[in-house]
Structure 1
Amino acid sequence: MDYQQRVIDGILDAAFGEIVAIALEGAKGVGKTATASRRAKTVLSLTDPPTRAIVAGNHDLVAEAEPPVFIDEWQLEPQVWDRVRTAVDDDPRSGGRFLLAGSAGVAPGARVHSGAGRIVRLVMRPMAMSERGIQVPAVSLKELHAGGAAVTGTSSLTTKDYVHEILRSGFPGVRDLSEGNRELQLDSYLTRVVDKDLPDNGVRVRRPAALLAWLRAYGAATASTADYTKILDAATAGESNKPARGTVDGYREHLQRLFILDPIAAWIPSFTPLKRLTVSPKHHLVDPALAARMVGIGAQGLLLGEGGVPSPSAGTWLGALFESLAVQSVRTYAAAMRARVGHLRTKTGDHEIDIIVETNDRKITALEVKLSDTIRDDDVKHLHWLKAQMGPLLTDAVILNTGRFAYRRQDGIAVVPLALLGP
């Protein structure tokens, strides 16, 4: 399979020449190995038992090997991290020596230094829309954030095409499989997380079926701020022997450490007149294809409005999955801008913005996501409210939709089909 260029390639190219060690983190299957190995002269894959045994017996090997050295799934031998950190201290000026890839944080109880100041962490997610090779993006998020960007372009995608992209997944190794094998692979992915990945990272799963039921309920709550108690209740409806809340909270933390859960945090601005904002995250899995697969809804069911827990802002559950697809892409583009991504919702629920992109200068771009090919005045009211609150700090306001054309409305709001948005 030919390598598909990723947004993070540009970030790595800009950083790796000067930074000694970079950790590329993210869920299994997002493409970390393919991206990192292209830059390495020495590859040490710790998923290979003989290689792992050699590295475990001699941690100095990682510092003695010909650079750039790529250490895949480094967390399987946590002391490797400290050996890389020491090597950076010994020679902090030799850029591009180490790439580490990991699909989990350090296992509970492992004593490993944070690496702060020595090892730079980058998160890699499944493929954004612009990385999938189905449409050339015409509108840049970076240019929108700079203010006054031109908004033009025509998309060939319809709502059915976006449904196909949701179900096809952003995992590179899954996308090109036949429908039946793709479903089998996604099922296996989720089972492996519970049966192997969590135990491999020091987590004992006493009731695997209960955890899978909770994951299914979490996926059904995609793009909502549903309370975790309600998610647990949905997962154990009709059961008297429910898992303890503390047990489920622990699982949730570990699943986030494995990058399976990828919630979007509430945006809490500093030094602005905005008050009484919710602090609840919006729920997202690493890929909306996993949510659709767990709930068991296919293309026809999604188009008919079946499945899940529709959020007030997204409408149908398909709208929630489309929002999750948009969030997945925007997070990838925002990373190239070194920007933070959050969502905004007032405690009363009167106002809600799906995505806020904020850079260190406090400038923000606000994006609403609508599963529609036409945009009405009512669809932009929250964006106008935010513009009135934030003034010049709001550089642009955008509606991401399923339409054909990118354009700017007379009121200044940019309307951009999701497939046309790029970094």
Structure 2
Amino acid sequence: MPLAPLAKTPDGVLSAVSGCLVIDELQEAPEIIGAVERAVDAGGRPEPQKLRAVLSSCAARTGQVLNKQATARDAGVTAVTADAHLSLLEDLSMVVRVPAWHEKRLYRLTRSPKVHVADPGIAAHLLGLNAIDLSLDASAVGQLVETFVVSELLPHLEAGSDMTFMHHFRDQSGHEVDVLLERRGRFVGVEVKSATSAGRDDAKHLRWLRDRLGDSFHAGIVLYSGQLPIRLGDRLWALPISTLWQASQ
């Protein structure tokens, strides 16, 4: 979407959008956050300040397992209010909750979803992070890169002819996979790394899951910031993050 109309008349642009609105460069149109707040206020719904506080808390935890109590505490609202605001932010396509995958064959699995701010640019803006800040904060970069990958994957899933479900995987023993895609009983695990290199150790959780799921495990992919595909083992590959959009060109 061109950024000029969004910067000039954000309220009108927002009201005309029926689906998900993704902004690549929030600094060019920061008015979108104010427009969301005004839309909420005009509808007689939760207070805009509280909505922004909940969204900011989600930004700080983007790419992490959702902790509603911590979100409510950071935002200065009750848990009930935080949950209502989260639902509203989902309706506005500002926040995405990725459900946890669970299976009877595997035990002690986490049931809580992961939370992602739908646009990593908005998340960085809410956290006050610029390029210099990010160069000094590897943890924040990791969270935002994972959120970026999720935001890139979702349109592919929605446009596909077959229904594909997105989950995350985590158990109480420390095994976790950032994204687990499921289609007709077949699974593709995706790990996201912001580093420019990838090795076999980066696929250790994918390897563990492959060995448990057997033939239903189709592939495991480590998406990283490098340039070359790397074979990491049976049905395991490291691929550049750019594969996500180059594959559709």
TM-score range, shorter chain: 0.7 to 0.9
2:203 is equivalent to residue 380 of structure 1: yes
Deviations 1:159-209 (A, max 9, x none): xxxxxxxxxx43xxxx4xxxxxx42512x1112111x22234x34334x32
Q: Tell me the equivalent position of 1:220.
A: 60
Q: Tell me the equivalent position of 1:304.
A: 136
- Residue 366 of structure 1 aligns with an amino acid whose one-letter code is G
2:124 is equivalent to residue 292 of structure 1: yes
Pairing partner for 1:357 from 177, 181, 204: 181
Q: Tell me the equivalent position of 2:164.
A: 339
Q: Which has the higher contact order (CA 8 A, sep 6+)?
A: 1
* Partner Cα separation in structure 2 for residue 205 and residue 218 of structure 1: 17
How big is the shift at 1:379? Answer: 1.2
How big is the shift at 1:277? Answer: 1.4
Contact residue 216 and residue 295 of structure 1 kept, 8 A: yes
The alignment of Structure 1 onto Structure 2 pairs a total of residues equal to: 235
Pairing partner for 1:249 from 83, 87, 92: 83
How big is the shift at 1:280? Answer: 0.9
- Residue 34 of structure 2 aligns with an amino acid whose one-letter code is T
Query: What SS is found at the alignment partner of 1:102?
Result: coil
Displaced runs of 4 or more, over 4 A: none
* Partner Cα separation in structure 2 for residue 247 and residue 227 of structure 1: 14
Q: Tell me the equivalent position of 2:114.
A: 282
Contact residue 169 and residue 180 of structure 2 kept, 8 A: yes
Query: What SS is found at the alignment partner of 2:191?
Result: strand
Contact residue 342 and residue 355 of structure 1 kept, 8 A: yes
Contact residue 262 and residue 283 of structure 1 kept, 8 A: yes
TM-score, normalized by length of structure 2?
Answer: 0.85
Contact residue 55 and residue 89 of structure 2 kept, 8 A: no
Segments of structure 1 that go 5 or more residues without pairing to the other structure are 3-28, 30-46, 49-71, 74-100, 104-123, 127-168, 176-181, 237-242, 306-314
2:225 is equivalent to residue 402 of structure 1: yes
- Residue 235 of structure 1 aligns with an amino acid whose one-letter code is A
How big is the shift at 1:276? Answer: 2.1
Q: Tell me the equivalent position of 2:9.
A: none
* Structure (1 or 2) with the greater helix fraction: 2
2:22 is equivalent to residue 185 of structure 1: no
How big is the shift at 1:235? Answer: 2.9
2:74 is equivalent to residue 234 of structure 1: yes
Contact residue 177 and residue 205 of structure 2 kept, 8 A: yes
Q: Tell me the equivalent position of 1:197.
A: 39
Name which one, 1 or 2, has greater alpha-carbon Rg.
1
Segments of structure 2 that go 5 or more residues without pairing to the other structure are 7-11
How big is the shift at 1:250? Answer: 1.6
* Partner Cα separation in structure 1 for residue 50 and residue 99 of structure 2: 26
Contact residue 406 and residue 420 of structure 1 kept, 8 A: no
* Partner Cα separation in structure 2 for residue 279 and residue 228 of structure 1: 13
* Structure (1 or 2) with the greater strand fraction: 2
